[in-house]
Amino acid sequence: MNVLITGVSRGVGLEISKLFLENGHTVYGISRTESEELKTLEQQYPENLFFKIFDLSNPEEIKQSVFKEFVTNHIPIHVLINNAAMAYDDIVTNLNYDDLKTMFDVNLYSPMFLTKYAIRNMIYNRIAGSIIHISSISAHTGYKGLSMYAASKGALQSFSKNISREWGERGIRSNIVVPGYMETAMNAKLTAEHKSRIFKRTALKKETDMRSVAETVLFLSDERSRSITGQEIFVDSGTL
Ligand SMILES: NC(=O)c1ccc[n+]([C@@H]2O[C@H](COP(=O)([O-])OP(=O)(O)OC[C@H]3O[C@@H](n4cnc5c(N)ncnc54)[C@H](OP(=O)(O)O)[C@@H]3O)[C@@H](O)[C@H]2O)c1
């Protein structure tokens, strides 16, 4: 399968890319930087990993930069994974429009435009493809300081559900993976005490394993999940 995925330089996107490559798939990855880990992966899989530097805070440039210069219609896209996101942590009384707008460009508007052009590619190539968006447990359970970020994820979830209805007749599926807290750069600022409070809210009393998230994404991308669409799959150590 050919997989278009955002946010491949580190964290969950890097882990998902590794798993798809290990399973023989071809990965077309996007992020703003080419990390050392990503470079190592590119050397390991020179025939199957392609990378494009692109800043997702510019959704209006997606058509030209991603779908004309990177994955043209001659490259059939079987899977789109909208993984890249940024956090905008603050309480709402400090809300700033520019910060909010940038976050929505990255977390919502770019995934929407990537979905638009990926579906066009799937239709052109007669592919019953799979779209997977990475949400967050914060869209379901309240956390102080995450209301703006959670709102962007909640909107993505509604988008996915409706896309599944809109394109289901063509065999195109759209699902959400909802991870809990993971140790990545996104959470670098959290204190040990804050983390421990988050873990206490989970049934398993621990962080979410990135590999478990990646395995779920792989499952949702292939034939094993052929009857699953419009769903939200929680991979969150049981945040109840
Ligand atoms: N970490 C958690 O606890 C947690 C929990 C629930 C859900 N999630 C979700 O899981 C997904 C992955 O998060 P993560 O923890 O792996 O975050 P991360 O370690 O901060 O990685 C984010 C990735 O997105 C890319 N990215 C960020 N802004 C971008 C932009 N403007 N343009 C292009 N690429 C951009 C980054 O690459 P560059 O910086 O190189 O551009 C990086 O590869 C996100 O959707 C996040 O909301 C995370």
Through-space distance between the first and last CA atoms of the chain, rounded to whole angstroms: 35
Distances (CA, A) of 130 to 6, 70, 173: 15, 19, 5
pLDDT band (50, 70, 90) for residue 14: very high
Q: Give the pLDDT confidence of 52-80 residue by residue, as tens digits.
A: 999 999 999 999 999 999 999 999 999 99
Amino acid at site 126? R
Res 191: pLDDT:
85
pLDDT band (50, 70, 90) for residue 196: confident
Full-model pTM: 0.98
Asked whether the predicted pLDDT for residue 95 surpasses 90, the reply is yes
Q: How far is the CA of 170 from the centre of ligand 1 (A)?
A: 30
Q: Give the pLDDT confidence of 116-167 residue by residue, as tens digits.
A: 999 999 999 999 999 999 999 999 998 899 999 999 999 999 999 999 999 9
Amino acid at site 105? D
Q: How far is the CA of 222 from the centre of ligand 1 (A)?
A: 23
Q: List the domains of the chain with CATH numbers.
A: 2-235 (3.40.50.720)
Our answer on whether the CB atom of 56 is closer than 6 Å to any ligand 1 atom is yes
Asked whether the predicted pLDDT for residue 94 surpasses 90, the reply is yes
- Residue 11, sorted as left (phi over 0), alpha (psi -120 to 50) or beta, turns out to be left
